[in-house]
Amino acid sequence: MPKTIKNNCPGDENAYVEFDSGSKIFRAVVQDVEFFDTPTALTHVKVDFNRDEARVELSFVISDNQSVAKNQASEFQNLVGKLNATSFLNQFYLSRTDFFQKQCKHFVGLTSNASSEKKSSITNPHESNSHNGNFAF
């Protein structure tokens, strides 16, 4: 059964990630952003800045294809790193940057592992599938 997991940045109630295991959407949100310069030329990551709510959301759908998922995660992590470099403008502080990058890597890894296990169980139905579909930290 698909579920959404939300994990707050430690010590920061205004920054969190969400992962929907059904749609495989990974989302990073910061809620106290007054100014934000939306980057251009992104292939995988969607950026949504809501000025009225002072909220920025970065999201992407994690691909089942491991090489595509790796490219998606790389684009996300590079974007977050660039935002950290201009954090005086967009409030992506170092602690948030580290948190978002680690969570992205974690969820892409979980999705890749689940995909590999699914393929393995399809190839060999006698193997046990240790992954039960729950995504946890």
Tokens of 71: 């490219």
Note whether residue 126 is domain-resident.
no
Whole-number average pLDDT of the chain: 78
pLDDT for 45 equals 93
Q: Is residue 95 included in any domain, yes or no? A: yes
Q: Is the pLDDT of residue 137 over 60?
A: no
Is 114 within the bounds of a domain? yes
User: Would 27 be classed as within a structural domain?
Assistant: yes
What's the whole-number mean pLDDT along residues 17-36?
A: 88
CB-neighbour burial class of residue 108 (10 A; exposed 0-12, middle 13-18, buried 19+):
buried
Residue 136 covered by a domain? no
pLDDT tens digit string along 78-128?
A: 888 877 776 666 666 767 888 998 999 888 888 776 655 554 433 333 333
- 3-state SS, one letter per residue, for 85-124: HCHHHHCCCHHHHHHHHHHHHHHHHHHHHHHHHHHHHHHC
Amino acid 61: pLDDT? 93
Answer whether 0.75 is exceeded by the pTM.
Answer: no
Domain count, the chain: 1
Domain-located, residue 134:
no
Q: Is 127 part of a structural domain of the chain?
A: no
Q: Assess whether pLDDT exceeds 80 at residue 3.
A: yes
Q: Answer yes or no: is pLDDT of 133 > 60.
A: no
